[in-house]
Amino acid sequence: MQIPTCYHEFMRHIKVNDSKTHASWTHWKDRLKTNTYLLPKVEEVEEALGEKFTRSDVVAFYQKPEIAPETKFIASMIWGHESEVQANRDGRGPWKLEQTFQESATAESAIRSCVVTGKDEISDSYSLLKRTLKRCGPNFFTKHFYFLGKAAELKNFPLIFDNRVAQGLARVTGQNSTLLKMISVAPNLDASSYLSYLTFSYGQAELIGCEPDQVEVFLFSFER
């Protein structure tokens, strides 16, 4: 299974940090105005990132040692629910945050335990968050893994694996495009499937001569 060579040159020129996320902070703060745990953390993220921000801005936020890990996690959740085009925002973000942090001490402990320096550590962290965090599956916590790895400047940093990436992977590797219009494609939820995706993406990046997150962005955006 490989990405066809006709896409390789395009992939090498993908600029992963060019896309700016537009955050509707009023939406988040209005929905969380009575949540004394989450609201200050959302405001901290807003102050640091502003109305428009890129992946590299979130990475820089993650690199600040004074920021609590759970606040960084919240930043990745906000980034994931907002959009380059505001009309496409996933408006469920504040509700999901409240569910995820309903038991805040448990959520904090799990998030603070995450390590992404190697495959075993990634697998353990994946399984921990999957069984601990409510209403927050791999679609979103792999975003946290990505920013952790990028902030630490790991060579093989974890990648985002959400429904859009899985759909792009199915399309680009030759699945019938007509069939894919009739069915839903989503990542398997086990840690081993995530590690297989990472292995595939690292291998394709090496073959193509691009960065692993260029592979991820390509798959996320791929339509045929």
Q: Per residue in 109-124, pLDDT tens?
A: 999 999 999 999 999 9
Q: Domain count of the chain?
A: 2
pLDDT at 30 over 90: yes
Residue among 137, 183, 178 at smallest CA distance from 161: 137
165/103 same-domain check: no
Mean pLDDT of 195-203: 96
- The answer to whether residues 171 and 135 touch, using CB atoms and an 8 Å cutoff, is no
Q: What is the DSSP string of 93-121?
A: HHHHHHHHTTTHHHHHHHHHT---SSHHH
38/134 same-domain check: yes
Residue 6: predicted pLDDT: 93
- The answer to whether residues 11 and 210 touch, using CB atoms and an 8 Å cutoff, is yes
- The answer to whether residues 139 and 77 touch, using CB atoms and an 8 Å cutoff, is no
88's tokens: 């496409």
Q: Which of 130, 157, 184 is the last residue of a domain?
A: 157
185/224 same-domain check: yes
Tens digits of per-residue pLDDT, 149-197? 999 999 999 999 998 899 899 888 766 666 666 667 788 889 999 999 9
Measured in whole angstroms, the distance separating CA 183 from the mean position of its chain's CA atoms is 23
181/167 same-domain check: yes
**Global pTM value:** 0.92
Element (H, E) at 217: helix 212-221
Element (H, E) at 52: strand 52-53
Structural domain containing residue 66: 19-157
Q: Which of 157, 183, 211 is the last residue of a domain?
A: 157
Specify the DSSP class assigned to residue 171.
H
167/146 same-domain check: no
Helical pair 138-151 and 212-221, crossing angle rounded to 10 deg:
150
Q: Which of 123, 157, 191 is the last residue of a domain?
A: 157
Q: CA dist 75 to 7, 13, 67, 157, 202, Å?
A: 32, 27, 11, 18, 26
Residue 112: predicted pLDDT: 97
141/188 same-domain check: no
Tell me whether residue 3 is in a domain.
no
Residue 37: burial class (beta carbons within 10 Å; 0-12, 13-18, 19+):
middle
74/148 same-domain check: yes
